[in-house]
Structure 1
């Protein structure tokens, strides 16, 4: 597939007190699966700028974006594909306001495998757990 077929998407692995934040998607597309929150990049944004904006929109919090973790390409169907870019992040505020998710949880990294993640996010889990 051509590289311009892939929509650039970001994901934040938000870390606090030895735990990472995961979010359960609402019923819409890929509903009820867990993911690392984030979203689609706008043309004029860098990946890190995208992540700051998306986390503010989806969770209502400010973050500081840290190190790059991994990227993964995922074909959703014959007309849609994403390239997911994951970064570590730390919360600057903690007044969560869920807009795109039904639930959030703080989870130990070694327990991430217990959750049913959206397929591209499973690559992030593997990168974090070295599996």
Structure 2
């Protein structure tokens, strides 16, 4: 089974963090995740995350730090999740693929029903919160 390289962004809006909920028609329906998407051929990781956030959420971000990539095997696919800490820069947030979003205080993020691959990213972020945003 091929591993799919995927970027994601932990986006800060002032003192809150963005999480998005997958739609009912996506793989892992209604699970929460940090937004992002697949890296296209010849695209850098940073270019990918900026493009994906622009396409999926209609906003611009500033990428600050790369976190530790996570490899996770689901029953029917494998991902290498490449996370970045980022700040919201501009644009009106509009969901184009996801069913919902929250802007949450850091301590409330753990209450969401996360996609399994995002859990190590969430844990690393929680442990380094003050250093990265």
TM-score, normalization by structure 1 = 0.90
Q: CA deviation at 1:97?
A: 1.4
Superposed CA deviations along residues 43-69 of structure 1, whole A, max 9, x for unmatched, are 110100000010011101111111012
Tell me, what secondary structure is at the counterpart of 1:87? strand
The residue number in structure 2 matching 1:100 is 97
What runs of 5+ residues in structure 2 fail to find an aligned partner? Answer: 128-133
Q: CA deviation at 1:94?
A: 3.5
CA distance in 1, matches of 2:75, 2:29: 16
Within 5 A, what are the aligned runs for 1:78-93? 80-93=77-90
Superposed CA deviations along residues 8-56 of structure 1, whole A, max 9, x for unmatched, are 1000000122211000110021111110000000011010000001001
> Out of 24, 27, 30, which is 2:28 matched to?
30
Residues 1:68 and 2:71 aligned together: no
TM-align CA RMSD: 1.6
More strand by share: 1
CA distance in 1, matches of 2:122, 2:46: 20
Does the 8 Å CA contact 1:9/1:38 hold for their aligned counterparts? yes
TM-score, normalization by structure 2 = 0.89
What runs of 5+ residues in structure 1 fail to find an aligned partner? Answer: none
CA distance in 2, matches of 1:94, 1:70: 28
Does the 8 Å CA contact 1:66/1:88 hold for their aligned counterparts? yes
How many pairs align?
Answer: 127
Residues 1:126 and 2:123 aligned together: yes
CA distance in 2, matches of 1:120, 1:90: 22
